[in-house]
Amino acid sequence: GFTEEFFFREVLQRSLTQRLGSWPWAIVLTSLAFSLYHLPYAYLDPDWASAGDLAQASKQALVNGLMGGVLGGVFVRSRGSLVPGILLHTSINWIPAILFLAQI
């Protein structure tokens, strides 16, 4: 969660907010980039349930983009602090691991 939040929120979203003068548009564009970033993982990584299925991978990337919007909003609401977004992102990333461990 740390590296993605640092890049997508601190670097990209902050930069777009300054250039566009609009944090809502910065969140939209950053979320789109976040979604596109996750598409190859969703399609190619065999650990993802959507691996090999482009339609499912696209849906998963869209969900990630929506979550990117939530994380972008958290970044704005926390006045530019990365900590809440990192904690939320890390929590979200733990869900598949917990579900996996529950099956063992």
Buried b (16+ CB within 10 A) or exposed e, 31-48: bebbbebbbebbbeeeeb
| pLDDT at site 57 | 97
Whether pTM exceeds 0.85: yes
Q: What is the pLDDT of residues 12-48, one digit of tens each?
A: 999 999 999 999 999 999 999 999 999 999 999 998 9
Task: Please say whether the beta carbons of 17 and 8 come within 8 A.
Answer: no
